[in-house]
């Protein structure tokens, strides 16, 4: 018996993928692999003028600049409708299901300097409006057909519109942007709390009955009653009972009846909901154009306001906390003079807080979301310690200053492009610092390093051995081992 790991595939092609290629891929998946296929559509299907009118005129997003070429090279509305019609016929013949996902992101012009890329991808509240309009247009245009077309949704979902999405017979409903806001995954329970409350108020206990109840049971039944077998009078009586609250479920009906009734009811709700969001100030520019406030201070390697906002808003869970013993360390630097080293200067390196933040670079894609929500300037992913999981990723990331642990008693760092290493002997509270040209054994204490002996490995006259780097390495080594985090669990 051959294993079958999946029975459905969502086809998400790049912007500008030719229509015939999309159709050929979908046919291949259905005909050769007998898979259910969902095709992810782009908001460009609404057309340049309509999208511009919605975003710039109706919603007031003047900062959103559309790129007309991205519309011209993308799948067009007539092509999409014809393609869906042909693929529905293929799906029926193969005994599989066809669906569409609404929607992909929208390409917009990056006319500012926060990111370097010329093109950016719109999501969140304005995309939610575009996706609902496309959903409404599809459900108004496409005929009922032999089998209902499945609709999945991914655009600006949050706890406030999740229930309307479910009532519109969208499944699955997926979330991204809302989880990038403060609270992260902790925002999810409110979605189900809202759905449960609405189902209770409608007197139903299953999602299919909820969709039918919200979508006018009588009117939606009349749309499909001639397409389904069975006792028509019984079905009409059931619809009246749902309206009056005398029946709480359609779960005992046949699968075919339930599927068509739910689809018809969901479509009615979807079309009504799409009209509502166009007028809802929640989705308009005045509500969504404010950026999080900055307090005017700059981030550094250690210490910050410790609000921890950078942790839940990271989509890759790359930011983490660790503890450091606070205090003001004295950091001498030594200069090579002949065959000797002498103290060149002494600086203080204050660490004021126990609670510190860092970034696990192996998981970070530098999306900048932590910078958006951080009240200080510089961006946690830029300014906080960059930690690598091992030597391999450390050297692959050579453009970044950062650190990795060869063992629990050693730390390797790249500081200002120079690779340095500190090995510690905890029993004797000493450390050996190696900057490639010199090796220094020091006494480690809360006050700072004290030189015990040195070894020159070709260090030229005037070479400076940086004591502040010893302080940084020692603090980070002890700190990252103080908590469970991606670095400490990656130790060999």
Sequence ranges of the domains in the chain? 8-288, 319-489
pLDDT at 5: 87
Instruction: Give mean pLDDT, residues 186-201.
Output: 95
Report the alpha-carbon distance of residue 489 to residue 9 in Å, rounded.
34
Q: Which of 156-165, 191-200, 236-245 has the lowest mean pLDDT?
A: 236-245
Kindly indicate the confidence band of residue 112, based on its pLDDT and cuts at 50, 70 and 90: confident
pLDDT at 53: 97
pLDDT at 227: 87
Instruction: Give mean pLDDT, residues 476-490.
Output: 93
pLDDT at 183: 85
pLDDT at 113: 75
The crossing angle, in degrees rounded to 10, of helices 188-201 and 207-214 is: 60
CB atoms within 10 A of CB 337: 12
Instruction: Give mean pLDDT, residues 197-225.
Output: 94
pLDDT at 453: 93
220, 347 contact by CB (below 8 A): no
Query: Per-residue pLDDT for 437 more than 80?
Result: yes
Q: Please report the DSSP string for 161-199 in residue order.
A: THHHHHHTTEEEE--SGGGGSTTGGGGHHHHHHHHHHHH
The tens digit of pLDDT for each residue in 131-184 reads 999 999 999 998 754 567 889 999 999 999 999 999 999 999 999 889 888 888
Give whole-number Cα distances, 430 to 122, 405, 437, 468, in Å. Answer: 53, 18, 20, 16
pLDDT at 120: 87
Give whole-number Cα distances, 144 to 52, 88, 111, 165, 200, in Å. Answer: 30, 11, 43, 20, 30
pLDDT at 408: 95
Kindly indicate the confidence band of residue 124, based on its pLDDT and cuts at 50, 70 and 90: very high
pLDDT at 304: 95
Q: Which of 112-121, 217-226, 440-449 has the lowest mean pLDDT?
A: 112-121
pLDDT at 61: 94
Kindly indicate the confidence band of residue 37, based on its pLDDT and cuts at 50, 70 and 90: very high
Report the alpha-carbon distance of residue 356 to residue 271 in Å, rounded.
49
CB atoms within 10 A of CB 292: 13
Contacts of 402 by beta carbon, 8 Å cutoff, 6+ apart: 361, 385, 386, 387, 388, 394, 413, 414
Query: Per-residue pLDDT for 119 more than 90?
Result: no
Structure tokens at 144: 């009922």
Question: In terms of DSSP bridges, do strands 150-153 and 170-173 run parallel, antiparallel, or are they unpaired?
Answer: parallel
Task: Output the average pLDDT for the chain.
Answer: 92
Query: Per-residue pLDDT for 492 more than 90?
Result: no
pLDDT at 2: 72
φ/ψ (deg, to 5) at 156: 65, 30
pLDDT at 321: 96
3 state SS of 424: strand
pLDDT at 289: 83
Report the alpha-carbon distance of residue 177 to residue 196 in Å, rounded.
23
User: DSSP strand E in 64-189: where?
Assistant: 98-102, 106-109, 119-122, 150-153, 170-173
Kindly indicate the confidence band of residue 48, based on its pLDDT and cuts at 50, 70 and 90: very high
CB atoms within 10 A of CB 217: 25
Report the alpha-carbon distance of residue 80 to residue 42 in Å, rounded.
10
Report the alpha-carbon distance of residue 45 to residue 74 in Å, rounded.
8
Class of domain 8-288: alpha beta
The tens digit of pLDDT for each residue in 316-363 reads 999 999 999 999 988 899 999 998 999 999 999 999 999 999 999 999
């Amino acid at each position: 018996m051959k294993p079958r790991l999946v029975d459905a595939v969502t086809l998400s092609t790049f912007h500008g993928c030719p229509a015939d290629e999309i159709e050929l891929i979908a046919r291949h998946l259905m005909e050769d692999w007998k898979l259910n296929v969902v095709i992810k559509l782009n908001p460009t299907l609404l057309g340049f003028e309509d999208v511009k009118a919605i975003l710039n005129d109706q919603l007031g997003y003047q900062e959103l600049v559309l790129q007309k070429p991205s519309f011209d090279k993308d799948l067009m509305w007539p092509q999409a409708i014809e393609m869906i019609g042909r693929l529905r016929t293929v799906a029926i013949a193969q005994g599989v299901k066809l669906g569409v996902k609404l929607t992909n992101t929208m390409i917009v012009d990056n006319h500012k300097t926060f990111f370097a890329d010329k093109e950016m991808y719109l999501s969140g509240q304005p995309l939610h409006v575009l996706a609902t309009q496309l959903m409404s247009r599809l459900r108004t245009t496409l005929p009922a057909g032999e089998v209902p077309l499945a609709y999945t949704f991914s655009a600006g979902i949050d706890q406030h519109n999740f229930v309307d999405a479910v009532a519109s017979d969208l499944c699955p409903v997926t979330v991204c942007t809302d989880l990038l806001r403060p609270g992260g995954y902790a925002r999810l329970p409110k979605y189900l709390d809202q759905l449960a409350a609405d189902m209770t108020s409608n007197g139903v206990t299953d999602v299919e009955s909820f969709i039918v109840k919200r979508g006018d049971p009588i009117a939606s039944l009349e749309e499909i009653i001639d397409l389904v077998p069975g006792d028509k009078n019984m079905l009409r009586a059931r619809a009246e009972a749902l309206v009056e609250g005398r029946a709480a479920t359609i779960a005992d009906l046949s699968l075919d009846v339930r599927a068509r009734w739910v689809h018809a009811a969901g479509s009615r709700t979807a079309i009504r909901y799409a009209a509502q969001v166009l007028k809802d100030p929640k989705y308009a520019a005045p509500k969504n154009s404010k950026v999080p406030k900055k307090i005017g201070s700059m981030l550094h390697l250690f210490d910050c306001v410790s609000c921890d906002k950078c942790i839940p808003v990271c989509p890759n869970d790359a930011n983490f906390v660790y503890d450091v013993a606070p205090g003001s360390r004295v950091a001498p630097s030594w200069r090579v003079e002949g065959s000797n080293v002498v103290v060149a200067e002494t600086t203080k390196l204050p660490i004021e807080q126990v609670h510190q933040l860092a970034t696990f670079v192996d998981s970070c894609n530098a999306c900048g979301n932590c910078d958006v929500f951080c009240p200080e300037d510089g961006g946690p992913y830029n300014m906080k310690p960059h930690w690598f999981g091992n030597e391999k990723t450390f050297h692959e990331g050579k453009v970044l200053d950062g650190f990795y642990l060869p063992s629990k008693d050693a730390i390797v760092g790249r500081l200002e492009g120079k690779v340095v290493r500190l090995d510690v002997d905890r029993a004797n509270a000493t450390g050996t610092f190696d900057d490639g040209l010199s090796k220094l054994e020091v006494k480690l204490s809360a006050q700072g390093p004290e030189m015990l002996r040195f070894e020159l490995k070709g260090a030229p006259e005037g070479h400076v051995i940086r004591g502040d780097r010893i302080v940084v390495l020692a603090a980070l080594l002890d700190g990252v081992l103080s908590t469970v985090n991606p670095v400490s669990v990656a130790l060999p």
